[in-house]
Amino acid sequence: MSADQRRIVRRLVDAHGQTYAEEAGIRLKDTPQPLYRLLVLAHLLSARISASIAVATARALGEAGLRDPRRMADADWQERVDALGRGGYRRYDERTATQLGDAAELLTERWGGDLRRLRDEADGDVAEVRRLLQEFPGVGPTGADIFLREAQQVWSEASPFLDRKALQGAERLGLPPDPDRLLALAGNTDTAVLAAALVRAAVDKSVADGILDDAA
């Protein structure tokens, strides 16, 4: 691994090393409410819509008081639609409002509103956690990856987790698309922070171009 690659990773993390949960105002802890809000954020981010709109919508849902599954399930459909609209999530607002309600009911009924119980059901098997997450309406493989990518900050068994999108960001930056080599280049950088920065390079070419220009 080269000094140039280390410099690229350092510049990337310095400029864009913020998790999406942090950007959305979620203080991630291994407790029910932050984990639920992360699940909602992962759901929103997995749609074909800009990350900035998804993050703004997660904030809007929080500001509307829809911060836990019981409150989300108890809210009427129009209340969820209105909150999604305030965040700019209009293209998918009606379908997503239904999915959020159904997912909240499933989480409440099956796991008592606590995603840690889902993790316990998987008995520490990250692949099984990923499968169970996809039982929530609107959460597919991409959404499950986003959740785990961020949750690894508080779920140590999920770390290190660099998903396909993060590795695409590495390729765009001329870095090795190999988790072990990327982690070595990143040194002591939190893996969730590294992953979020790499994803930003993957989804926004100007991010990668700016880092490469600075490192030249």
* Cα 60 to Cα 175: distance, rounded to the nearest angstrom: 36
* Cα 204 to Cα 176: distance, rounded to the nearest angstrom: 19
Could you tell me if 24 and 33 are in contact, meaning their C-beta atoms sit under 8 angstroms apart? no
* Cα 61 to Cα 40: distance, rounded to the nearest angstrom: 9
At 54 the three-state DSSP class reads helix
Please choose, from the candidates 10, 12, 37, the residue with its C-alpha nearest in 3D space to the C-alpha of residue 150. 37
* Cα 59 to Cα 65: distance, rounded to the nearest angstrom: 10
Instruction: Tell me the torsion sign for CA atoms 21, 162, 102, 45.
Output: positive
pTM of the model: 0.94
Q: Which pLDDT does position 30 carry in this prediction?
A: 97
Report pLDDT digits (tens) over 49-74: 899 999 999 999 999 999 999 999 99
Q: Which pLDDT does position 91 carry in this prediction?
A: 76
Could you tell me if 81 and 97 are in contact, meaning their C-beta atoms sit under 8 angstroms apart? yes
Q: Within the chain, what is the greatest distance between any pair of CA atoms?
A: 55
Q: Which pLDDT does position 150 carry in this prediction?
A: 97
Tokens 């904030």 found at: 59
Q: Which pLDDT does position 3 carry in this prediction?
A: 81
* Cα 120 to Cα 18: distance, rounded to the nearest angstrom: 28
DSSP 49: S
Q: Which pLDDT does position 1 carry in this prediction?
A: 54
Question: If you compute the radius of gyration of the chain from its CA atoms, what whole number of angstroms results?
Answer: 17
Cα-based distances in Å from 196 to 51, 118, 165, 203: 11, 24, 10, 11
Report pLDDT digits (tens) over 108-149: 999 999 999 999 999 989 999 999 999 999 999 999 999 999
Report pLDDT digits (tens) over 5-47: 999 999 999 999 999 999 999 999 999 999 999 999 999 999 9
